[in-house]
Amino acid sequence: IIGFIIAIILDITRSDGMYPNKIFFNIMDTIINLIRSFPFVILMVSLIPLTRFITGSSIGVKAAIFPLCVTMSPYMGRLFQSHMEQVSKETIEAARSFGASPAQIIWHITLVEAVPGICSVICFATIAALNATTIAGMVGAGGLGNVAIRYGYQNFNDKIMYSTVAILIVLVQIIQFIGNRIYNKLK
C-alpha cells in the first residue's frame, strides 16, 4: 500500500505529471534512492533504535517487519511508478478531453493500464521480500534464515544448509511461475 502511494505521488509530481512539482519530486526521489542504496542487513541494523522505539523490541518477527517495510516500500514505489509512467500520454489526454478528473485518470486509466506491469512488480517484490525475511532470520526473526544459520551454518550441518537453499529455490520458482501466469493473463 505504501509503495502504491509513493508511486502515485511520484507519477503525478514528475515533470510531465498531472501536478508537476520539481522540488517535491526531487526530494522524494533522493529519499527513495537513499533507502534503496542500503543493503537490507545494514539498513535493518541501522534502524534498530527506531525499530525498538516503534515495536518495543529489536529482535523477533515484529522487529523485522518495520525495516522490511522501510526497505520494500521505496523499491515497490519506484517500480510501480516506472510502469505507471509508461502509460501512453495520448490515453491520458483522451481521458482529460472527455472530462475525467485527475483522480479518475489515476484510478481508471493509469493504474488499469499499468496492471500487467504492476503484477510483475508484485512478483519481483515478493521474491525480494522472501530474500529479506531470510536475512531477517539471522537476527532473530525466525524462519528459513534462522534455520539455515543456526542449525546449518553454525552447527556445520551441510544437509540443513543446502536443504534450506533448495526450499528457497523452490519457493522462488513457484512465486515466479504464478506471477508469470497472472501477467500473461492480464496483458
> pLDDT tens across 57-116, in order?
888 888 888 999 999 999 999 999 999 998 888 999 999 999 999 999 999 999 999 999
Torsion sign over Cα 79, 77, 121, 93: negative
In angstroms, the CA 36 to CA 132 distance is: 13
Helices (H), 48-157: 48-55, 61-85, 89-97, 102-104, 111-136, 143-146
Residue 34, C-alpha cell as written in the block: 537513499
Task: Classify 2-186 by CATH class.
Answer: mainly alpha
For 103-161, the pLDDT digits (tens) are 999 999 999 999 999 999 999 999 988 888 888 877 677 788 888 888 888 888 899 98
| Contact yes or no for 132/172 (Cβ under 8 A) | no
In the prediction, which pLDDT does 100 show? 92
Type of residue at 59: I
Provide the CA 20 distance to its chain's centre, in angstroms: 24
The secondary structure of residue 74, as a DSSP letter, is H
Domain ranges of the chain: 2-186
| Contact yes or no for 159/167 (Cβ under 8 A) | no
pLDDT beyond 90 at 181: yes
In angstroms, the CA 52 to CA 64 distance is: 10
Split at pLDDT 50, 70, 90, the class of 28 is very high
Q: What's the number of CA atoms in the CB half-sphere (13 Å) around residue 114? A: 26
| Contact yes or no for 68/133 (Cβ under 8 A) | yes
| Contact yes or no for 67/51 (Cβ under 8 A) | yes
